[in-house]
Chain A
Amino acid sequence: DQQVKQNSPSLSVQEGRISILNCDYTNSMFDYFLWYKKYPAEGPTFLISISSIKDKNEDGRFTVFLNKSAKHLSLHIVPSQPGDSAVYFCAAKVRDMRFGAGTRLTVKP
C-alpha cells in the first residue's frame, strides 16, 4: 500500500529555470510533510517541511506547497543550480514517516 507517491522518476531542467517536483499521498491522517535530498552513498538530508495547517512554506530558493483537498504537495526550486542535482524524496508523517519512491533531478549548466 503505497501511501506516498512520486510519479516522475526523473526531471531534467536548465540552470536558472524552475524545478517543480510533485508528490501525492492517500492517507488523510498525515499531518506533517517533508522533502529530503539524497546523494549516492549518503543518508537523506532534510530540505524543507510543511505542517498540514499551512499551504506554503519558503526557505530561500525552496518553496513547498500543500494542497490538502487534492492530497498533493510540490517542491519548487528557483533558480535551479547544478548543485541541486540529486534524488529528491517526499515524506509524510503521523506517528511513522513514509517516503515516496524519489525523483532524480538533473540540472544542466
Chain B
Amino acid sequence: AQTVTQSQPEMSVQEAETVTLSCTYDTSESDYYLFWYKQPPSRQMILVIRQEAYKQQNATENRFSVNFQKAAKSFSLKISDSQLGDAAMYFCAYKALRRPGNTPLVFGKGTRLSVIA
C-alpha cells in the first residue's frame, strides 16, 4: 500500500521569508499524482499545487513551488515570500493513476506552518 510521510509536524517562518515543507512517499507505481493541500483554521481543504509524476518539470503556482525527485520519492513544497495568510496545516497527498477509473487520495499526517510577523 502507498504511504505518505511528512516528517515535520510543525514549522515556522518569518513573514516574507522562504520555507520548505518535506514529503516522502512510498509506491511501486510509475504513474501517479502528488498534491499539496492547505487546511486553514476553518478546516477547509484547499488545493495548493499538483504534480504529475510523468512530468520532469517542477510545478509552480505563484509563490508556491515543488521540488519533485521521483527517484528519491520526495515531493517538497517551497513557499516564497511567506504571508500571514499562509499559516495553516499543509497536507501532502498521493494519488495513483488508474485507467479506467479513479483512485482515492492517500494523505500524510500534515505539517503545521506558523508565520511570524
Task: Report whether chain A binds chain B.
Answer: no
Interfacial residues, chain A to chain B (CB-CB below 8 A): none
